[in-house]
Amino acid sequence: VDNVVKPYLIGGTAHIYPLLTFFVILGSMFTIGFKGLILGPFALILALTFLHIYRLEYKDILAK
């Protein structure tokens, strides 16, 4: 139940796709165990934030 409900809770507050969050939680739990429940979504949010900042900083270069 937790693996189904958690992506909707995390995805709603962080504005990320629930299905992506679900797969990140599953993948991180399979690779690093119970810690993956917390570290997986954290790593996803961190990566998406870096991508967003990169797009903002290099918007002109990416448009060419």
| Model confidence pLDDT, tens digit, residues 20-64 | 888 998 999 999 999 998 899 899 989 989 998 998 988 888 787
Q: How is residue 7 written in tokens?
A: 């992506």
DSSP class of residue 35? G
Domain ranges of the chain: 2-63
pLDDT of 13 over the 70 cut:
no
CA 44 to centroid of chain Cα atoms: 3
Place of tokens 């990140």: 24
Amino acid at the residue 9: L
**Per-residue model confidence (pLDDT) at position 9:** 61
Model-wide pTM > 0.85: no
Please name the residues in contact with 48: beta carbons below 8 A apart, sequence gap of 6 or more.
Answer: 16
